[in-house]
Structure 1
Amino acid sequence: MGAEVYSLGRVIVDLYANDIHTPLRKVRSFNKYLGGSAGNTAVGLARLGAKAGLISRVGNDEFGAFLTERLKEEKVDTSMVKTDPCYPTGLAFAALFPPSDSDVLFYRKPCADAHISLEDIDFDALKEAKVLTVSCTVLSQSPGREATLAALEANRASGGLNVLDLDWRPMFWGGEEEARVYYRIAIRMADVILANEPELVFAGESNDPDEASKHLLSLGVREVVAKRGGNGVLFYGEEAFRVPVVPVEVLNTLGAGDGFAAAYTYGLLQGWPARKRTEFAAAAGGIVVSRHSCSEAMPSRSEVEELIASQRA
C-alpha cells in the first residue's frame, strides 16, 4: 500500500547555528537536521497523520544514510528515495537572526536531489495517491525538471490534486526568463499554488497580490494561497479572504513555509473548507518559526489545534 500524498523535490542536511545573531564565519557549533523543502513537507504531513511519501535522491554517503534513516523514523515512505551513484547529499548552513530572516549558505553544486529521474518514479504508486506536492526548485535543472513535469502530468491524469510550493530561489537558476518557462509549464498543471511574497511577484508577474493571483488563476489554477509574513495569509479561489498571522516568538523563519505547505495539504486530504485549512496552515507555520529546526519543528495535529484554540480563547 503506497502513500496517499507524495512530496517531490529537495531533501538535504540542514546545519543550523547554535550561536544566535552570529554570522556564519563566527559560528562555533551547529545542530544537524533533515532539511530541504520536500523533505520537510513530507515529515510535516506524516506528523499530522497523513500517509506521506517522498520522491527524491540522496548521496551515497553518511549524510544520505542519515536522511533515509530520519525519514523512516518519521514514518515517511522512502520507496521513491533513491541513492545517487555520482552526486553527494546537499547541505545548507544557516545563521539565525531572529526575528529577521536567516542567512543560508547552500552546498549543492552538484548534489543528489537535483538528479531525480523518470526512472525513480513508481507511476503505479503515484496513480493511487490523492495529492502530489512539488517544491519547484527541482525544476531548475535536468533530469529533475523532466521527472517533475512527468509526475505532475501523471498525477493529474489519474485524478490527483497537484500542489505547487513555488520555492523560488534565484541562485539555483540561470535567470528569471529561463525559470518562468518551466514554472509556467508546471503551473498549468497545478490545482493549488502556495507562494510567499517574492514568489508571488515572480510567478504572478505583478507586485500587486490581487493582480498576481488573478494571473495565476487565469492559467487554470484553482487556488492561490499567498503567505505574506506579518500581514497574514491571502486566499484566492472561488472566494477571497485574509487570515491574520498567529502571534508567536520567532526563533527561525526557515521551514515555516514547509510547515504551512504540509498543513494546508493535510487540510486538502481531510476535505476541509478553504478557510479552515488556511487557518490550520497559518498556525502550523507559526509553530515552526518558534523552533530551531525545520523538519524537527513540524507540529502534530493536536499541537496545531491547541494553538488555534488558545487564540480563540
Structure 2
Amino acid sequence: MIKVISFGELLVDMLSSRVSDAQDGQGAGSENERFTKYPGGAPANVAAAIGKLGGHSFFAGKVGADMFGDFLVQSLEAMKVRTDYLLQTKEAKTALAFVSLDKDGERSFEFYRGPSADLLFGPNEFQQEWFEDRGIFHFCSNTLTEPGILEATQAGLETARAAGWLVSFDMNLRHNLWPEGADPFESVWACVEQADLVKLSAEELAFLCRHTDEAQVLKQILNAGASLVLITDGGQPLRYHTAYHSGSIQPPNVQMVDSTAAGDAFVGGLLYRLSELDMSVAGLEGLGTDQQRLENILSFASACGAHAVTHAGAFTSLPGIEDVEAFLRY
C-alpha cells in the first residue's frame, strides 16, 4: 500500500443542531439552532476517510496553536492519519466553518477563514523527503483562493509530479471562499491540466463549460493528461471517463441525513483502493482499459459516499472497511 498525502484546509465544522433534530424525528426547522464542533475541511476529510479504512494516510497543512488546532490534530490522529506534515502556528487562528442544513439535509456554509492558519502554509514548507517513496498527492481548489496558499499549492503539485507521484484533484469549488470579484476559472483549469485523476460535481463541470460544451471540456481534460475523470451528482449515477471507455455507476439508494462529507468519503474510498493497489501514473492510465476492474473500484468508493450521507458530520460519518462491505453486500 502506497502513501497518500492530502494537502489543504483543516478546519472546525460548526454543525447545525438541525441534523440531530431530524434524526430524532423533530424535523429540521428548529428555531433555536445550535452548533457543535466537528473536524472538517475537504482534504482533511479525505485523509480521515483513507485512515479509517486502514490506508497509509498523511495530512499536510497548517492550523493554529490554539484549542481548535489541538482538537483537529487529535481528531486526525484518532482516525489513524499521520500528522508529521501538519504544522501549527501562533500567527493566526484555526479556521471555522458554520454548516447549516435544510430539511432535506442539504448544506449551506459560512466560513470564518481569512486570515486563518491554513492560509499560511508556505511553499518552502513542503519537504523533498516527504515524496521519496511512491505515492498519491491529493488537493482541492480551496488552496487556490489567495496568492500565498496558491503558490504553496503549486509548489506541492510540482514536487509531487517531479517525484512521479499520481496527482488527484477534487475541484470542490466554494465560491464564497474567493475574494469578491475574483474569477477561479483560470486557477482551477491550471490544476485540472496537471492532474492524473480529476473529480468534479455536475455543477463544477458546468462551471468549466462556460466557453464550450461538456463533451469538448471532457476531451480537453483527457487530452491534458488526466487518465480518469469522475462526475458526481448526488444520488444520480456517477459518470466516469477515460481515454478508452466512458460509463456510469448507480450509487446505493439511501436516506440522506447529512451530505457534508459525501464527496470526500467517495474520494477517500477511491484513493484508498488505488493506494491498496500501489497505483502509479502509468497504472491509472492502464486501468482505463479494464472497465470491469475500474467499475469495481468505483463501486467501493460509491459505497463509502453512501455510508457518509446516512450519518451526521464529517469525520463522524466516514465508514470503516466493515461498513463498506455491508453496503456492497446490500
TM-score (norm 1): 0.91
- For residues 158 and 37 of structure 2, the distance between their equivalents in structure 1, rounded to whole angstroms, comes to 35
Q: Which residue in the other structure is 1:13 paired with?
A: 12
The alignment yields a C-alpha RMSD, in angstroms, of 2.1
Alignment of 1:1-150 (within 5 A): 4-20=3-19, 21-22=28-29, 26-150=31-155
SS of 1:268's equivalent in the other structure is: helix
The one-letter amino acid of 1:10's match is E
**C-alpha distance 270-209 of structure 1, shift in aligned 2 (>3 A):** farther
* TM-superposed deviation, 1:184: 2.2
**C-alpha distance 87-76 of structure 1, shift in aligned 2 (>3 A):** same
- The yes-or-no answer on 1:308 pairing with 2:300 is no
- For residues 154 and 127 of structure 1, the distance between their equivalents in structure 2, rounded to whole angstroms, comes to 10
Does the CA contact (< 8 Å) of 1:6 and 1:129 recur in 2?
no
Structure 1 stretches lacking a partner, 5+ long: none
Q: Which residue in the other structure is 1:278 paired with?
A: 298
- For residues 22 and 119 of structure 1, the distance between their equivalents in structure 2, rounded to whole angstroms, comes to 47
Structure 2 stretches lacking a partner, 5+ long: 20-27, 278-286, 288-292
Alignment of 1:216-227 (within 5 A): 216-227=221-232
Q: Which residue in the other structure is 1:241 paired with?
A: 247
The one-letter amino acid of 1:9's match is G
SS of 1:253's equivalent in the other structure is: coil
**C-alpha distance 177-112 of structure 1, shift in aligned 2 (>3 A):** closer
- For residues 210 and 303 of structure 1, the distance between their equivalents in structure 2, rounded to whole angstroms, comes to 36
- For residues 209 and 302 of structure 1, the distance between their equivalents in structure 2, rounded to whole angstroms, comes to 37
- For residues 134 and 95 of structure 2, the distance between their equivalents in structure 1, rounded to whole angstroms, comes to 28
The one-letter amino acid of 1:16's match is L
- For residues 249 and 54 of structure 2, the distance between their equivalents in structure 1, rounded to whole angstroms, comes to 24
Q: Which residue in the other structure is 1:169 paired with?
A: 174
Does the CA contact (< 8 Å) of 1:193 and 1:221 recur in 2?
yes
Identity %: 25
Does the CA contact (< 8 Å) of 1:13 and 1:35 recur in 2?
yes
**C-alpha distance 246-211 of structure 1, shift in aligned 2 (>3 A):** farther
* TM-superposed deviation, 1:123: 2.1
The one-letter amino acid of 1:4's match is K
* TM-superposed deviation, 1:91: 0.7
Q: Which residue in the other structure is 1:290 paired with?
A: 310
**C-alpha distance 307-207 of structure 1, shift in aligned 2 (>3 A):** farther
SS of 1:22's equivalent in the other structure is: coil
After superposition, what is the alpha-carbon deviation per residue over 1:157-188, rounded to whole angstroms, capped at 9, x for unaligned? 21110000101111122478742222222222
* Worse-matched range after superposition: 92-101 or 294-303: 92-101
* TM-superposed deviation, 1:120: 2.3
After superposition, what is the alpha-carbon deviation per residue over 1:229-275, rounded to whole angstroms, capped at 9, x for unaligned? 12220000021110012111100111101101101111211338321
SS of 1:156's equivalent in the other structure is: helix
* Worse-matched range after superposition: 171-180 or 155-164: 171-180
TM-score (norm 2): 0.87
After superposition, what is the alpha-carbon deviation per residue over 1:53-107, rounded to whole angstroms, capped at 9, x for unaligned? 0011101211011101111222211111111221111111122224352222111
The one-letter amino acid of 2:302's match is A
